[in-house]
């Protein structure tokens, strides 16, 4: 599969990327998906992890009221999957779709276990991803517990300045847990403040 971003990403996170890893990665193919395409649906058992080479994916749920809740955006160099569904082999409650035309690596559900078997560094790297994920979710819970819409938005643009530019505003609102109208007003307020 040539020089993928995944290889470079791993190389920058694992001391020495050995042949064992290359061997596995070379079996993966790049999949091209169109904007809007859905890769995972509620009810499906998620059997892949996606690594975004190019483009932007989104992980979200739809609640009983029909409202979409964005749980994660995944731009270049991000892994995205429904970990619960993959690990526990259960139907997913979530959706994954493409927000832009994208190129993604489709990794088999057991790819990390297979590589981990042969390579301790990769195993460590995998644990690191899991811990990062937890850290990230926990921080978000804290923000939802005690920060205002404005504070949450400021935190978001600080953390993901690039995503703001690529994603429709109503999806950012959904991620932040506010209505699109509210986010629009928050932005207006901030613009006024900055002028002063």
Partner DNA sequence: CGCCGAGTTGAACTGAATCAAGAAACGTGG
Partner DNA sequence: CCACGTTTCTTGATTCAGTTCAACTCGGCG
Q: Which parts of this chain interact with DNA (CB under 7 A)?
A: 148-150, 168-170, 177-188
Token pair, residue 134, equals 């937890």
11 binding partner (options DNA, a second copy, none; Cβ < 5 to 8 Å by kind): none
- Strand ranges for the chain from DSSP E: 30-33, 38-40, 48-54, 57-62, 68-74, 79-80, 95-98, 102-108
146 binding partner (options a second copy, DNA, none; Cβ < 5 to 8 Å by kind): a second copy
# residues near a second copy by CB under 8 A? 27
Give the C-alpha separation, 44 to 86, whole Å: 10
71 binding partner (options DNA, a second copy, none; Cβ < 5 to 8 Å by kind): a second copy
Q: Are strands 79-80 and 48-54 parallel, antiparallel or unpaired?
A: antiparallel
Q: How far is the CB of 131 from a second copy (least distance, A)?
A: 4
Token pair, residue 48, equals 């892949």
Sign of CA dihedral 95, 101, 105, 106: positive
Q: How far is the CB of 58 from DNA (least distance, A)?
A: 12
Q: How far is the CB of 109 from a second copy (least distance, A)?
A: 12
Residue closer to DNA by CB (options 57, 86) is 57
Q: How many CB atoms within 10 Å of residue 76?
A: 15
Q: Does residue 88 belong to the site contacting a second copy (CB under 8 A)?
A: yes
Q: Does residue 169 belong to the site contacting a second copy (CB under 8 A)?
A: no
- DSSP codes joined into one string, 61-73: EE-TTS-EEEEEE
- Stretch 26-85 residues interacting with a second copy (CB under 8 A): 61, 63, 65, 67, 69, 71, 83-84
Residue closer to DNA by CB (options 85, 174) is 174
How many CA atoms lie less than 13 Å away from 130 in the CB half-sphere? 10
Residue numbers at the binding site for a second copy (CB under 8 A)? 61, 63, 65, 67, 69, 71, 83-84, 87-88, 127-128, 130-131, 133-135, 137-138, 140-142, 144-146, 174, 177
């Amino acid at each position: 599969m040539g020089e993928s971003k995944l290889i470079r990403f791993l190389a920058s996170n694992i001391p020495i990327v050995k042949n064992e890893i290359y061997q596995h990665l070379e079996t993966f193919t790049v999949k091209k998906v169109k904007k809007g395409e859905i890769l995972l649906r509620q009810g499906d058992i998620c059997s892949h992890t996606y690594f975004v080479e190019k483009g932007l994916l989104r992980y979200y749920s739809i609640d009983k009221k029909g409202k979409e809740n964005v749980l994660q955006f995944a731009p270049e160099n991000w892994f995205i999957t429904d970990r619960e569904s993959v690990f526990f082999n259960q139907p997913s409650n979530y959706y994954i779709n493409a927000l832009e035309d994208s190129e993604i690596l489709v990794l088999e559900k057991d790819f990390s276990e297979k590589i981990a078997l042969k390579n301790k560094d990769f195993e460590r790297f995998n644990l690191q991803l899991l811990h990062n994920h937890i850290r990230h979710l926990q921080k978000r819970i804290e923000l939802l517990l005690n920060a205002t819409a404005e504070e949450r938005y400021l935190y978001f643009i600080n953390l993901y300045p690039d995503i703001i530019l690529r994603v429709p505003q109503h999806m950012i609102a959904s991620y932040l847990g506010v209505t699109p109208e509210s986010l629009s007003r928050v932005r207006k307020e901030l613009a006024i403040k900055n002028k002063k």
